[in-house]
């Protein structure tokens, strides 16, 4: 028996990635995909890499009975669309890939998602879908707010420090161009992105508030998180570099033990010891590779994910698996794309 899946707004990279990953899932079938612009067209005309693999057509709204809806609509549209779905189909499960339902704090939500409606009730009912942290709550949830891609990498890097006094944390994030979405724009124009590297949203990225909400709930002692995002000349992949300064020195083995304690039973986290995490090994997969180097009070944590998989569609499917009592790894148990 297969789960019946609907996807709202399936023409973008997030929707395409859900479709690609679900083609390998043993217990899920995509029965409906929506798009305003592409209604009536087959999936393969918008996602030529998926031609033949899925022969469903885009439609205006979900017309079939479904067990679960993924929304990959953009911020500002997704929350309201989900509210409509829930009104029309009470009891359906929903996973939102946008940022509309992530923040619990209303002021923070209004500040960082100024184009999104408040949706106070809906937001408060959504479980933050960081699978490794909130797995138990996700199992019982019917509405999950899937984390941001950079947020996922940041949180997984810092969770093991829960409870420890920290002097400071500074984070450098670097991400591929697919994170900017499917619409061509100046920052993703190939001639000037092909061999470039630069920062954006310096000290003001919208993923920081969800990271702080999540870490503080998990007792990680950070109240300020200086974070700078950077644009890599690759399509996929995030490498997150966290400089954690401890109050008291720790040796390498202690820090490795901290991480092992938190992640040893988590299937999609691979602990690399001091061998640096590489995006090459995780791109295409749902893995998060984490490496740590400790020296006195300085600890450097690297985490690598695919922004469209563990940072988006893959983690959404991982959450789906949890919500429906499937093996957490169903349809996702494959490696990265090295060499890519």
Residue positions annotated with a catalytic role = 149
Query: Minimum Å distance from CB 223 to a second copy?
Result: 12
Distance CA 250, CA 242 (A): 16
**Binding window for a second copy (CB under 8 A); candidates: 90-98, 133-141, 214-222, 230-238:** 230-238
314 binds a second copy, rule: CB under 8 A: no
Query: Minimum Å distance from CB 76 to a second copy?
Result: 22
User: Angle at Cα 274 formed by Cα 273 and Cα 280, nearest 5°?
Assistant: 85
Name the nearest CA neighbour of 200 among 240, 243, 230.
230
35 binds a second copy, rule: CB under 8 A: no
Phi, psi of 154 (to 5 degrees): -65, -45
Please pick, from the candidates 7, 8, 11, 13, the single residue that binds a second copy as defined by CB under 8 A: 13
Query: Minimum Å distance from CB 48 to a second copy?
Result: 5
Please pick, from the candidates 270, 313, 316, 319, the single residue that binds a second copy as defined by CB under 8 A: 270
Query: Minimum Å distance from CB 87 to a second copy?
Result: 34
What DSSP state is assigned to residue 296? T
Q: Which class for 297: exposed (0-12), middle (13-18), buried (19 or more C-beta within 10 A)?
A: middle
Q: For residues 51 and 118, which CB has a smaller minimum distance to a second copy in the complex?
A: 51
Task: Decide: 73 and 45 in contact? Cβ < 8 Å.
Answer: no
6 binds a second copy, rule: CB under 8 A: no
253 binds a second copy, rule: CB under 8 A: no
User: Angle at Cα 307 formed by Cα 301 and Cα 312, nearest 5°?
Assistant: 115
C-alpha radius of gyration, the chain, whole number: 19
Would you mind telling me the total number of residues written for the chain in this entry?
A: 340
Name the nearest CA neighbour of 147 among 194, 269, 204, 138.
138
Site for a second copy in 281-300 (CB under 8 A): 281-285, 287, 291, 293, 295, 298, 300
311 binds a second copy, rule: CB under 8 A: no
Please pick, from the candidates 19, 103, 154, 258, the single residue that binds a second copy as defined by CB under 8 A: 19
**Binding window for a second copy (CB under 8 A); candidates: 121-129, 174-182, 208-216, 310-318:** 174-182
Site for a second copy in 37-76 (CB under 8 A): 47-53
């Amino acid at each position: 028996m297969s789960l019946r899946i609907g996807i709202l707004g399936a023409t973008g990279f997030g929707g395409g990635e859900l479709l690609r990953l679900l083609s390998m899932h043993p217990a899920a079938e995509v029965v409906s995909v929506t798009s305003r612009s592409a209604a009536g067209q087959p999936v393969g005309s918008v996602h030529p890499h998926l031609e033949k693999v899925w022969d469903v057509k885009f439609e205006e709204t979900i017309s079939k009975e479904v067990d679960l809806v993924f929304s990959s609509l953009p911020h500002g549209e997704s929350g309201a669309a989900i509210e409509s779905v829930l009104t029309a189909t009470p009891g359906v499960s929903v996973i939102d890939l946008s940022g509309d339902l992530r923040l619990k704090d209303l002021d923070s939500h209004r500040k960082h998602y100024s184009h999104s409606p408040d949706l106070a009730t809906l937001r408060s009912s959504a479980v933050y879908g960081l699978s490794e942290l909130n797995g138990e709550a996700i199992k019982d949830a019917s509405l999950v707010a899937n984390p941001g891609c950079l947020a996922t990498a940041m949180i997984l890097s810092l969770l093991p420090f829960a409870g420890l006094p920290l002097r400071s944390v500074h984070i450098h994030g670097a991400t591929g161009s697919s994170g900017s979405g499917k619409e061509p724009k100046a920052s993703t124009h190939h001639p000037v992105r092909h061999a470039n590297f630069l920062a954006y949203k310096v000290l003001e990225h919208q993923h920081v508030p969800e990271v702080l909400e999540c870490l503080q709930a998990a007792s990680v002692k950070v109240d300020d998180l200086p974070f700078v995002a950077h644009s890599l000349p690759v399509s996929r992949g995030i490498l997150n570099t966290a400089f954690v300064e401890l109050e008291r020195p720790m040796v390498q083995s202690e820090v490795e033990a901290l991480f092992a304690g938190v992640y040893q039973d988590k299937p999609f986290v691979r602990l690399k010891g001091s061998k640096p995490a590489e995006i090459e090994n995780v791109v295409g997969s749902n893995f998060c590779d984490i490496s740590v180097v400790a020296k006195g009070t300085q600890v450097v944590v690297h985490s690598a994910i695919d922004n469209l998989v563990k940072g988006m569609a893959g983690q959404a499917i991982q959450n789906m698996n949890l919500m429906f009592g499937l093996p957490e790894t169903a349809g996702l148990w494959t490696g990265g794309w090295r060499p890519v």
